[in-house]
Structure 1
């Protein structure tokens, strides 16, 4: 003989939809957290690569001008190039949670533009992001 359903069994049946909704919500939150971590990691890695690629470009051009144009450059140009080189060297290469890094990047960009104007180079030595050009830029 089977026993009669108890009141709690009937309550469970009546609240079955709410139980599944709660379970689904909890599973969704956990899946979202997991996927968000992966997506954030991938996006952060990609953005860090883009920023350091730009910094590397500025560093390479600065070193090239200091090395190749040393005797042809006036003291003002050398002073600005050296200051830019110091700004680039101070750029953090480890993970930091501050906004000073973005401010420093803006200072580096502005200093680079000013130096290119002083050297009268124009847009010949402008950093081109991968989305701007599919060709290699020098």
Structure 2
């Protein structure tokens, strides 16, 4: 007669118990932790690269705007010299000179936190020497608005000579 043989199940557990899956659960947790650590490390590297790119782009736009204010000040000062000061009020000329000085002294590095200030040292004591580029640009905007208000309708109605020669359109 045939004798019944006991079927052996493979030992899955750490201590040989059949069907124990705890070591697989620990494996999953271990891979999750390793993946999280890898993701944090890689994310920090990618974040630094993206931050540098965003900083360069923002810095370019800020310097471009500061250059615009420099050009505005130079152009109006030249216009004041050509017109013998008749069109541009004396107070506006003084404000334009101040705008020009501050636009030329616009910081090209982030100086927050102290250190040598370069061209900002030449400015008077009324200027805060710890200006960062963002604050300096905000002050340039304010000064340019004030100058435009002083120039009044002269600045708003400045036109090119060719515009006067063109016929007026009805649409």
Under TM normalisation by the shorter chain, which class is it?
0.7 to 0.9
Cα deviation, residue 100, structure 1: 2.9
Cα deviation, residue 29, structure 1: 0.3
Residue matched to 1:122: 156
Residues paired across the two proteins, number: 120
Cα deviation, residue 6, structure 1: 9.7
Residue matched to 1:131: none
Cα deviation, residue 123, structure 1: 8.6
Per mean C-alpha deviation after superposition, the further-off stretch among 38-47 and 94-103 is 94-103
2:137 to 72, 84, 105: 105
Following TM superposition, the consecutive aligned residue runs of length 4 or more in structure 1 with deviations greater than 4 angstroms are 4-7, 10-14
Q: Whole-Å Cα distance in 1 between the matches of residues 41 and 89 of structure 2?
A: 61
What 5-or-longer segments of structure 2 have no aligned partner? 1-10, 15-20, 114-129, 159-171
Contact map agreement 2:69 2:144 (CA 8 A) in 1: yes
Q: For residues 123 and 68 of structure 1, do their structure 2 counterparts lie closer, same or farther at Cα, with a shift above 3 Å needed?
A: closer
1:79 to 90, 94, 109: 94
Q: Whole-Å Cα distance in 2 between the matches of residues 44 and 104 of structure 1?
A: 17
TM-score by length of 1: 0.73
TM-score by length of 2: 0.61
More helix by share: 1
Please list, as runs of the form range in 1=range in 2, the aligned pairs for 1:83-98 lying within 5 A after superposition.
83-97=98-112
Q: For residues 21 and 50 of structure 1, do their structure 2 counterparts lie closer, same or farther at Cα, with a shift above 3 Å needed?
A: same
What 5-or-longer segments of structure 1 have no aligned partner? 125-138
Larger RCO of the pair (alpha carbons < 8 Å, separation 6+): 1
Q: Whole-Å Cα distance in 2 between the matches of residues 74 and 123 of structure 1?
A: 16
Deviations 1:90-109 (A, max 9, x none): 22101334683222222111
